[in-house]
């Protein structure tokens, strides 16, 4: 292989040859371009010489020639003509007159002059003709151009050689060194780049050299900075910035590496219980510090056989290199117990618990996505069961969750397609036995109210669904009123509706739209719904009550409202839950309890409705206790509007109706 010195020498020679050839080519090109100019200049000079010779003939030759002809001396005349054609470019001379003589050969391409020959006495002696050879003039010009061309060529070669030597010494060598230096300016080769020096002469090459050195130093600095950035980016790509734990990306890489081994292992999905309250109550800075301390504690509790990572937010994941249930339980117990100790953050003593979902490979899932999903499902189930616990993935729970999702989708479709219907259960006046109101109850062809109503509340669908129920019930009340049988329509209100600040306004709009008095509507609320957001609930109830809407407290006695809250509520009616009425005819204790509830309601000037009347004995006892209204399967089951007997009185019921009601209760409820 050629050495570096040989390569540099070859580059130097190649550059010198190019420079020399370029110089010579330019010089010869300039000379070639000057040849026509020089030719015409020399030719013009020769033509000017011919004109000067013509003047000399008039002044010098003609008197002598005239004397020779006057004396009739042919020899002397010939001698004069021969002397004449010795002039530059003169090729032919002739005398015509007393003596006729010709000297030379007349050229084909000539310049001709004629001169009259006059004697001293003025007599005409003849005419002198002189011809100059134009071809000779052209040849003379070309000869001079050729001579000049070769002379200039020699001088050009000498000058080019001198210039080449100077360029090589002053420029080319320095450029070659700069070229060699520039070849080494690579980010991966900055340490081995050859050293180059420059003088402080401040010429262009020195400036270029200095700039290249500055560029090399800047490249070295940029390379070091780039390496630092690459290292930092690699760290950030695989590490959580807050806790220093591996992030989700690193966890997924570790998970899929573990899956490739086909070994048994477990995935633990952790979520911090109560972290949101700390974050919202004390601020995100305290929350961040708490997450750091949580990560440190998880490191201590996880053990050496685990891969711990922050999955996101307040969620963490742990890979455990075993699937033995007892071993996993031991780790999970250690984690849950370890969080019983408080965290000390910025002067605050904070308590957290952790909910853990566990999924095992390959028992629960054989791919990473499903394994994470199943551990997540188990974690949320642990939260729902009370938090601060762990659960293994259960396929039955998972199937129920998927069924729940499917039902939610069907609920949304049914809401769009209006697949819901309303049935109405009459409420009777205890003394007159007549129907005074009807409770609107929602029905869905794909599930029972005990299933789909809690799901609608959980998903938020209860808001549009409840509004639809209200509109339909008011429309039916309007139809009853127009038919001459006005009935109070009773509509159940969920806690989500009651907690809307604009709920009372929406009810008012629907009443005005239907053209109904507010007193035609009774809204039934539960104790539980009231207690979840007491201030907003009371505001809505008071506004509705001021409008004239009737308010009933449903399922009274089963919630956890206090008597002081009951005293503050603007109510019209209490509905005693059917659980109190179920054994009133069999148990003196239940009888006494219902009697106490009735007396309490009367003391508060509230009407009382007894729910769940399924036997005649219950009906009779309710009348004895002074209960104002009755509702239950013994009196009438929930029915579509077309099947309602609005003019029917419960006094017409036979004693055998109790057995019928029992059958309805067993088959429908």
Tell me what the mean pLDDT of segment 509-514 comes to.
93
Q: How far apart are CA 575 and CA 554, in angstroms?
A: 5
Among 228-232, 457-461, 628-632, the least confident range: 228-232
Residue 446 or 653, more confident: 446
pLDDT of residue 499: 86
Nearest of 124, 134, 130 to residue 97 by alpha carbon = 124
Mean pLDDT of the chain: 82
In contact, 311 and 318? CB cutoff 8 Å: no
- 73: confidence class by pLDDT, cuts 50, 70, 90: confident
Task: Give 245 or 87, the one with higher predicted confidence.
Answer: 245
Q: What is the pLDDT of residue 4?
A: 47
Confidence label for 511 from pLDDT (cuts 50, 70 and 90): very high
Q: Are 494 and 469 in contact (CB under 8 A)?
A: no
**How far is 625 from 608, CA to CA, in rounded Å?**
10
Burial zone of 133 (CB within 10 Å; 0-12 exposed, 13-18 middle, 19+ buried): buried
Nearest to 496 by CA among 445, 538, 459: 459
Instruction: Say which residues have a Cβ less than 8 Å from residue 552's Cβ, sequence separation at least 6.
Output: 490, 522, 523, 524, 525, 571, 572, 573, 574, 575, 609
Q: What is the CA radius of gyration of the chain?
A: 61
Residue 211 has pLDDT above 70, yes or no: yes
How high is the pLDDT of residue 658? 42
pLDDT at position 404, please? Answer: 84
Helix (H, G, I), strand (E, B) or coil at 525: strand
**Residues 6+ away with beta carbon under 8 Å from 114:** 127, 128, 129, 130
pLDDT higher at 181 or 257: 257
Burial class for 573, CB neighbours closer than 10 Å (0-12, 13-18, 19+): buried
Residue 665's nearest CA partner among 576, 578, 594, 552 is: 578
Residues sharing a CB contact under 8 Å with residue 64, sequence separation 6 or more, in sequence order:
80
- Give CA–CA dist 444/468, Å, rounded: 13
pLDDT of residue 356: 94
Alpha helices in 184-283 (DSSP H): 204-238, 248-260, 275-282
Q: What are phi and psi of 555, to 5 degrees?
A: 55, 40
Of the ranges 17-26, 37-46, 89-98, 514-523, the best mean pLDDT one:
514-523
613: alpha, beta or left? (left if phi > 0; alpha if psi -120 to 50)? beta
Q: What average pLDDT does range 42-47 have in this prediction?
A: 76
127 vs 231 pLDDT, higher one: 127
Residues 270, 267: Cα–Cα separation, whole Å? 10
The share of the chain scoring above pLDDT 90, in percent, equals: 29
- Mean pLDDT over 272-278 rounds to 90
Tell me the C-alpha to C-alpha distance, in Å, between residue 280 and each of 196, 285, 314, 339. Answer: 63, 10, 13, 20
In CATH, which superfamily holds the domain spanning 248-400? Reverse transcriptase/Diguanylate cyclase domain (3.30.70.270)
Predicted confidence (pLDDT) at residue 8 exceeds the cutoff of 50: no
Residue 655: band (very low, low, confident or very high) from pLDDT cuts 50, 70, 90: very low
> What is the rounded CA–CA span in Å between residue 660 and residue 521?
31
Mean predicted confidence (pLDDT) in 115-120: 81
pLDDT in tens, 549-608: 999 998 776 655 556 667 778 889 999 888 888 888 888 898 999 999 899 888 888 999
Residue scoring higher pLDDT (216 or 635): 635
Residue of 121, 54, 61, 44 whose CA lies nearest to 88: 54
Bridge partners of 128, per DSSP, are 95, 115
Two tokens, residue 650:
């419960």
CA distance 520 to 516: 7
Res 204: pLDDT: 63
Contact status, residue 630 vs residue 619, Cβ threshold 8 Å: yes
Report pLDDT for 15.
60
3-class SS at 493? Answer: coil
Reported confidence tier of residue 199, pLDDT bands at 50, 70, 90: low
Question: According to the model, what pLDDT value does residue 585 have?
Answer: 85
How far is Cα 332 from Cα 336, in angstroms, rounded to an integer? 6
Neighbours of 262 (CB within 10 A): 9
Half-sphere exposure of 409 (CA within 13 A, CB side): 6
What mean pLDDT comes out for the span 390-415? 87
Domain boundaries, the chain: 4-169, 184-236, 248-400, 418-668
Strand partners, 319: 267, 307
Token pair of 274, please? Answer: 């109560």
Distance separating alpha carbons of residues 271 and 339, to the nearest angstrom: 12
More confident residue, 594 or 20: 594
Residues forming beta bridges with residue 131, ordered by sequence position = 92, 112
- SS3 category, 159: helix
User: For the residues 343-366, what does the mean pLDDT come to?
Assistant: 91
* Interhelix angle 173-183/204-238, nearest 10 degrees: 0
Of 310 and 149, more confident: 310
In the sheet that 124-133 helps form, which strands lie side by side, from edge to edge? 101-104, 90-97, 124-133, 110-118
Torsion sign (Cα): 78, 80, 83, 84: negative
- CA-CA distance, 621 to 612, in Å (whole number)? 13
Residues, the chain, total? Answer: 669
Over residues 127-156, the pLDDT tens digits come to 888 888 888 888 887 888 788 778 877 877
Superfamily of domain 418-668 in CATH is EAL domain (3.20.20.450)
- For 74-83, the pLDDT digits (tens) are 888 888 888 8
* Exposure b/e, 142-177, CB count within 10 A at least 16 = b: eebbeebbeebeeebeeebeeebeebbeeebebbbb
Model pLDDT, residue 122? 77
Query: What is the reported pLDDT for 669?
Result: 31
Which residue from 457, 412, 436 is spatially nearest to 522, judged by alpha carbons?
A: 436
* Rounded (10°) angle between helices 503-514 and 534-547: 20
Which is more confidently placed, 22 or 524?
Answer: 524
Question: What is d(CA 38, CA 31) in angstroms, rounded to the nearest whole number?
Answer: 10
- pTM score, two decimals? 0.57
pLDDT at residue 656 greater than cutoff 60: no
Alpha-carbon separation of residue 341 from 318, 334, 350 (angstroms):
21, 12, 9
């Amino acid at each position: 292989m050629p050495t570096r010195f040989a390569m540099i020498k070859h580059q130097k020679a190649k550059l010198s040859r190019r420079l020399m050839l370029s110089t010579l080519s330019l010089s010869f090109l300039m000379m070639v371009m000057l040849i026509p100019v020089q030719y015409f200049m020399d030719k013009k000079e020769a033509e000017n010489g011919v004109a000067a010779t013509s003047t000399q003939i008039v002044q010098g030759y003609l008197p002598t020639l005239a004397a020779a002809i006057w004396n009739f001396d042919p020899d002397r005349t010939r001698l004069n003509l021969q002397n004449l054609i010795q002039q530059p470019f003169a090729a032919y001379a002739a005398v015509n007159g007393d003596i006729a003589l010709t000297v030379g050969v007349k050229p084909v391409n000539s310049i001709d002059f004629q001169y009259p020959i006059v004697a001293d006495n003025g007599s005409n002696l003849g005419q002198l003709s002189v011809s100059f050879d134009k071809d000779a003039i052209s040849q003379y010009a070309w000869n001079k151009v050729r001579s000049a061309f070769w002379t200039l060529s020699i001088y050009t070669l000498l000058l080019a050689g001198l210039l080449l030597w100077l360029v090589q010494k002053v420029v080319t060598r320095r450029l070659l060194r700069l070229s060699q230096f520039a070849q080494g300016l690579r980010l991966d080769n900055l340490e081995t780049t050859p050293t180059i020096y420059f003088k402080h002469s401040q010429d262009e090459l020195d400036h270029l050299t200095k700039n290249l050195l500055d560029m090399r130093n800047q490249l070295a600095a940029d390379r070091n900075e780039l390496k630092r950035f690459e290292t930092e980016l690699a760290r950030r790509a695989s590490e959580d910035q807050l806790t220093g734990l591996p992030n989700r990306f690193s966890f997924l890489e570790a998970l899929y590496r573990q899956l490739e081994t086909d070994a048994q292992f477990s995935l633990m999905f952790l979520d911090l219980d109560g972290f949101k309250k700390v974050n919202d109550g004390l601020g995100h800075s305290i929350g961040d510090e708490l997450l750091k301390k949580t990560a440190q504690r998880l490191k201590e509790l996880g053990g050496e056989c685990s891969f711990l990572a922050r999955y996101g937010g307040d969620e963490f994941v742990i890979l455990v290199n075993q699937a033995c249930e007892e071993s996993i339980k031991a780790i999970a117990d250690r984690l849950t117990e370890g969080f019983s100790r408080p965290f000390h953050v910025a002067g605050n003593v904070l308590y957290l618990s952790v909910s853990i979902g566990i999924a095992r490979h390959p028992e629960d899932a054989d791919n990473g996505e499903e394994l994470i999903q199943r551990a997540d499902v188990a974690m949320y189930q642990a939260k729902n069961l009370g938090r601060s616990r762990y659960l293994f993935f259960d396929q039955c729970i998972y199937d129920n969750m998927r069924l729940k999702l499917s039902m939610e989708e069907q609920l949304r479709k049914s809401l769009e397609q209006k697949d819901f219907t309303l049935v109405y259960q009459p409420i009777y006046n205890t003394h007159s036995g007549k129907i005074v109101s009807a409770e609107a109850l929602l029905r869905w062809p794909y599930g029972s109210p005990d299933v789909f109503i809690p799901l609608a509340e959980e998903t938020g669908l209860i808001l549009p669904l409840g509004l639809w129920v209200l509109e339909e019930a008011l429309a039916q009340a309007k139809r009853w009123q127009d038919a001459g049988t006005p009935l109070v329509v009773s509509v159940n209100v969920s806690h989500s509706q009651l907690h809307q600040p604009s709920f009372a306004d929406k009810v008012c709009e629907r009443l005005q739209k239907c053209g109904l008095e507010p007193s035609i509507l009774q809204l039934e609320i539960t104790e539980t719904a009231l207690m979840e957001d007491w201030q907003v609930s009371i505001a809505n109830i008071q506004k509705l009550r001021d409008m004239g809407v009737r308010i009933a407290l449903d399922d009274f006695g089963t919630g956890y409202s206090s008597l002081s809250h009951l005293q503050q509520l603007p109510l019209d009616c209490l509905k005693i839950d059917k659980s109190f009425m179920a054994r009133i005819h069999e148990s003196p204790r239940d009888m006494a309890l219902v009697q106490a509830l009735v007396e309490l309601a009367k003391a508060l000037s509230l009407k009382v409705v007894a729910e769940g009347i399924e036997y005649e004995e219950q009906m009779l006892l309710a009348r004895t206790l002074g209960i104002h209204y009755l509702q239950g399967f013994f009196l009438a089951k929930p029915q579509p509007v077309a099947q309602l007997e609005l003019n029917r009185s419960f006094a017409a019921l036979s004693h055998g109706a109790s057995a019928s009601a029992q059958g309805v209760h067993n088959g429908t409820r």
